Amino acid sequence: MRDDPDYIAAYVMNHIMGTGFTSRLNQEIREKRGLTYGVSSFLAPYDRAGLYMGAMSSSNENIAEAIDLIRLEWAKMADNGVTNEELEAAQKYLTGSYPLRFDSNGAIASILAGLQFANLPIDYIATRNDLVNAITVEDINRVASRLVQPDKLHFVIVGQPEGIAAR
């Protein structure tokens, strides 16, 4: 949930796992193996429940292998967490790209509305990067062991997947 004290650590962890070109999922599934057109993960903090979700687009013949790799990366995150290098790269990206979001009146209005909707403090824009930079490897590894639960990972598949038995 957005008010969880570990939300920022989960946000940074998710960036490492599945946000952007350098994420683990993108590197392992798209770049190294060419199994997907795109793969990502995201936090979905709703009013009464928080979800950790993802999306992927792939061909029917590649979906089973891609899902196996997602499961593998999910287990690696749960068991091993992240490295110092991954954390530093994520912090640089997340803090460096944040100001770029404020590039128009519409974008600023949308950000301010989102902050209000999430009940974030009025100084969040000024303190957000400090929160991201305060996250440690230990924080993420603790959060990963709590939130990333491989036995609870589920997939919804649309199409005619090959190599996947109906469940």
Query: How far does CA 93 lie from the centroid of its chain?
Result: 14
110-165: per-residue pLDDT in tens? 999 999 988 999 999 999 999 999 999 999 999 999 999 989 999 999 988 888 87
Q: State the pLDDT confidence band at 35, using cuts at 50, 70 and 90.
A: very high
Sign of the dihedral through C-alpha 8, 13, 18, 19? positive
Q: State the pLDDT confidence band at 167, using cuts at 50, 70 and 90.
A: low
* Domain range annotation of the chain: 7-152
Alpha-carbon radius of gyration of the chain: 17
Q: Which two tokens stand for residue 29?
A: 């599934």
pTM score over 0.95 = no
Looking at 3.90.25.10, 3.30.420.40, 3.40.140.10, 3.30.830.10, the CATH number of the domain 7-152 comes to 3.30.830.10
